[in-house]
A and B are shown apart, each in its own frame.
Chain A
Amino acid sequence: MSTTAVALAEASQPIHPPPTSFWQRYVFSIDHKVIGRQFLWSGLVFLLLGGTLAMLIRWQWAYPYRPVPLLGGLVLGKSGGVIGPATYQQIFTTHGLIMIFFAVTPVLIGCFGNFLIPLMIGARDMAFPKLNMFSFWTFLVSQVLVLASLFTDLGSAGAGWTTYPPLSTNVGMPGLGQTLIVAAIFVTGVSSTMGAVNYVTTVIRLRAPGMTYMRLPLTIWGLWLTAILNALFVPVLGSAALLLLLDRNFGTQFFLAGAAAVKGGGDPILYQHLFWIFGHPEVYIMILPAWGIVGDVVSFFARKPHHWYRGTVGAMVVVTVLSAMVYGHHMFLTGMSPLLGKGFMLFTLLISVPSMIVVLNWVMTVWRGSLHFDSPMLWALGTAFVFGVGGLTGLFLGDISMDLYLHDTMFVVGHFHFTMAAGSFFGAMTGITFWFPKIFGRRLDERLLKAHFWVTLVFITLVFGGQLLVGYAGQQRRLFDPFQYTFIQGLRGLNRWTSWAAFVLFAGQFLFVWSFLKAVFGRHAEAAGPNPWQVTTLEWTETGSPPPFHNFDHIPLVVRGPHELSNPEVRDLTGRDFAGQAEVLPGGGEPALAAGKG
């Protein structure tokens, strides 16, 4: 069976000729590895931009009406460095949009999806390499639109990242900046959809022979489920953005009501349904790849098979399905039917079941392992911590009674920063530190990375914990000057301390920037070798670092699951504590494949 299957796989793989010119190789490349790096760079640059905007928000809450040091004169020259209310709403709006759509999405999905899917399933490239290239360039257009919006007369978008109409229509935000941002959301949606279709097809069609679904690394499960969610729900966001553009620029009134609805009008709540039926899956779009990465990394660095692999996969599938059925908990206060609200509350509480199974399986994997605390492992365990805190605080918000009080407070902000921001950022850092040797063929400076991890873990907990605390005390989100309210005045000190934690957190990120740049461009960076972490999956065991243009000399024949670690049988045969997914053990025959279970 095996030779025929491999021959068939070889024949069916899309082999395109290697690039011949600089432009083909580095710019308009159709090689998934180059596109992955392009997404990584564009995402990291915007991550820094989004982080800078966060610092402006924190400055405002610590020292309202005082000029921003350093940055203020540079970007807020007209006001003498002081943030005004109109500028402030643009800062928090663009911070949210940039972080979600233009920083985390390209790194977690664009970079890892592109780089890892073909390599981890044993394919030569994506199913549609050209579509892949278009996906990146479309994405770049959306990033340019975001940047352009910052330079318009009335400034960028200011209706919040959720862009609720009628505030986001001409009623509330008449500027060109808001139009450009809505257009950017639409364009990035097109890019995500192209990517999603590509990932889904690639995983279904191009798995190497023997790579059954139950042998897929968890990373691929995460990326694949994410792609399915993207393919289903990003077009809904696109349609909402398109209708909003029509409302803004062509006089339609899909989302207008109230005094502005002179010709009958539409329904502002319709937008919220469209937005959140995308928006809640989006939370899982951003966390599922991180879950997958953490699942694999925890197993690799505990030198132990993942606990109850099928349970984790099942839980991730259930989360994917349920994620579209809980979105109403964002809308408990919109006057929705109580019965509908209760239904959404039920599903929201139920989604804690698969989430807990995923996290407990990480704990059980670590239990009685042989823990190697290299930087990817630290980040993976850090992900478990921040996601745990974020997930548990979600219990408050999925419940209607408590949401009546906590909705739209900083408690919500703290909750989704622990899950979506810290969770996906830590997941991304797990991936970057783990696969950096494979992507660039070099090692990162482990000491700098560890310092970066500890600074980030401590201070991110303080920052988002501070948000939870002020939210618990009732402070609303998105306030230019929270201390207008008497009941918030006592929180001035807490807000200020949280801001200082944020400034340290931001400064600490330059430890990573430095180690990253040093390893990519430095002359003395250590070469990685094909399998520096001594792990099992195809990208480490079957090809070099970085992999050649065609990925694999031969399409590998997969014989076992992704977590064959510390198997005594394998140790007897090879003297190693791991067996590659496609490795034929010495001795041949049935015993050699015995370790294929699981």
Chain B
Amino acid sequence: MSRLRALLAAAGALAARAALADPLPETGYGLPRDASRDGFRVDELIHFTLAAIAVIFAIAAAALVWSFLKHRRDHPAVYTHGTRASTAAVLVFVGVVLFTVDGSLFVRTLRDVDRYFWAFARAEEDPAAIRIEVNAHQWSWTVRYPGPDGQFDTPDDIVTIDAIHVPLGAPVVIQLASTDVIHSMYLPNFRVKQDAVPGMITRLTFQAAEPGEYEIACAQHCGANHYKMRGVLTVLPPDAYRAWLETATADARRAYDPDDREAHWGWPWRAEP
């Protein structure tokens, strides 16, 4: 029976692999494709800000260009240090920008950060939440899953290098550490990023919305081979993810070596680091 299950799991994993290509290149010069539940919140803010600064820039530039054309050398300069009206015009312009642009950025961001991007406790409340520990070092990402017992740093942990597998539609919480220098885990297709700092545990959360393979990048200069610190994040449909998990757990059990102390770097999951 168990052999059959293993066989099924392997077939599932194979099927999942065949269905997925390597990370696809992006087309065009825009934002990378968004594969996450909450990335659109960042994209919307970016587009809003782009539109706002285009308007501000156009108003200032129009005034200047008009002046360049009309108020040349032969135009007599108007003698004024600024009138009450002109000063008020400046202040009103600034006030309008402050309330419409800065104000809405601030309010929206407070909400998004609290509810989504830094809402770690909220993500962990979900019973389906996936917990992962990542230890960064020059120049790769070592990844640890707690295994069936739910505890980190135990013999049934799954450990992978430069590869993270997550299921579609479940919140993922990653706790990050670093052995040597500061790294930064960057998932461009999920619009999130978090530094990995030696001596600290930092956190990152996201939820995948599109199956596929995506790149894990290092965003913080971490030495000569910083550019090679690349990994692949695979988003699997829930069934395929369970199949992968089973195969990987079986592999991990077989590969466990109690004497290899280097490999036992996991830490007890921190509720509030």
Contact = CB atoms under 8 A, between A and B. Distances in A.
B46 A402 contact: yes
Contacts of B114: 338
B105 interface: yes
A301 to B, nearest CB: 10
A366 B68 CA distance: 8
A490 B197 contact: no
A198 B86 CA distance: 38
B82 interface: yes
A341 B32 CA distance: 26
B100 interface: no
A481 B71 contact: no
A532 interface: no
B184 A356 contact: no
Nearest to A258: B198
Given A349-B106, A392-B56, A400-B113, A306 B81 contact: yes
A484 interface: yes
A88 B224 CA distance: 8
Contact of A368 (B67, B90, B219): B67
B77 A360 contact: no
Interface string A155-175: 000111000101100011000
B263 interface: no
Taking each of A160, A306, A405, A487, which has the highest tally of chain B beta carbons within 10 Å of its own beta carbon?
A405
Given A366-B71, A405-B42, A489-B25, A89 B57 contact: no
Given A259-B179, A268-B198, A363-B63, A476 B113 contact: no
A473 interface: yes
A478 interface: yes
Interface string A363-380: 110111111100000000
A95 interface: no
B23 interface: yes
A490 B112 contact: no
A491 B31 CA distance: 12
A289 B102 CA distance: 26
B5 interface: no
**Interface size of A as a range:** 35 or more
Interface stretch (B123-131, B147-155, B186-194): B186-194
Interface in B26-44: 26-32, 39, 41-42
A345 B106 contact: yes
B144 interface: no
A159 B221 contact: yes
Given A172-B223, A370-B75, A388-B60, A257 B200 contact: yes
Contacts of B267: none
Given A335-B203, A396-B49, A404 B193 contact: yes
Contacts of A257: 197-200
A371 B180 CA distance: 58
Given A167-B222, A364-B82, A368-B71, A349 B102 contact: yes
B199 A338 contact: no
A85 B139 CA distance: 13
A268 B26 contact: no
B94 A360 contact: yes
Interface in A120-152: none
A172 B225 CA distance: 11
Contacts of A356: 93-94, 97
A305 B182 contact: no
Given A269-B200, A368-B71, A474-B188, A335 B41 contact: no
Contacts of B225: 85, 480
A484 B191 contact: no
Nearest to B190: A405
B142 interface: no
A361 B87 CA distance: 9
B81 A598 contact: yes
B71 A369 contact: yes
**Interface residue range, chain B:** 35 or more
Nearest to B59: A363
B72 interface: yes
Given A171-B180, A308-B81, A408 B186 contact: yes
A494 interface: yes
Contacts of A370: 71-77
Contact of B49 (A402, A489, A563): A402
A305 B80 CA distance: 6
B19 interface: no
Contacts of B193: 333, 404-405, 407-408
A566 interface: yes
B contacts with A: majority SS: mixed
B6 interface: no
Given A261-B199, A396-B49, A487 B90 contact: no
B94 A166 contact: no
A486 B22 contact: yes
Given A258-B180, A363-B60, A370-B77, A311 B219 contact: no
A166 B109 CA distance: 32
Given A357-B94, A392-B56, A480-B227, A408 B220 contact: yes
B117 interface: yes
Contact of B79 (A159, A346, A568): A568
A43 B217 CA distance: 37
B28 to A, nearest CB: 7
A525 interface: no
A490 B26 contact: yes
A307 B24 contact: no
Contacts of B246: none
Contact of B45 (A88, A346, A399, A563): A399
A401 interface: yes
Contacts of A256: 198
A338 B87 contact: no
Interface string A202-215: 00000000000000
Given A304-B79, A353-B98, A392-B53, A487 B215 contact: yes
Interface string A508-547: 0000000000000000000000000000000000000000
A285 B46 CA distance: 29
Nearest to B50: A396
Contacts of A489: 25-26
A443 interface: no
Contacts of B184: 333, 407-408
A204 B97 CA distance: 36
A239 interface: no
A517 B93 CA distance: 45
B105 to A, nearest CB: 5
Contacts of B56: 392
B105 A487 contact: no
Given A89-B221, A89-B224, A393-B53, A402 B45 contact: yes
Nearest to B44: A401
A473 B113 CA distance: 22
B180 A260 contact: yes
Nearest to A470: B29
B108 interface: yes
Contact of B197 (A158, A335, A357): A335
Nearest to B119: A338
The 4 A-B residue pairs whose C-beta atoms are closest, nearest first, are A257-B199, A258-B198, A335-B202, A308-B82
Given A370-B71, A479-B227, 8 more contacts: A85-B224, A335-B203, A372-B73, A399-B49, A401-B108, A401-B112, A404-B117, A474-B188
9 contacts: A164-B220, A167-B223, A265-B199, A311-B82, A334-B202, A356-B97, A401-B113, A402-B109, A405-B193
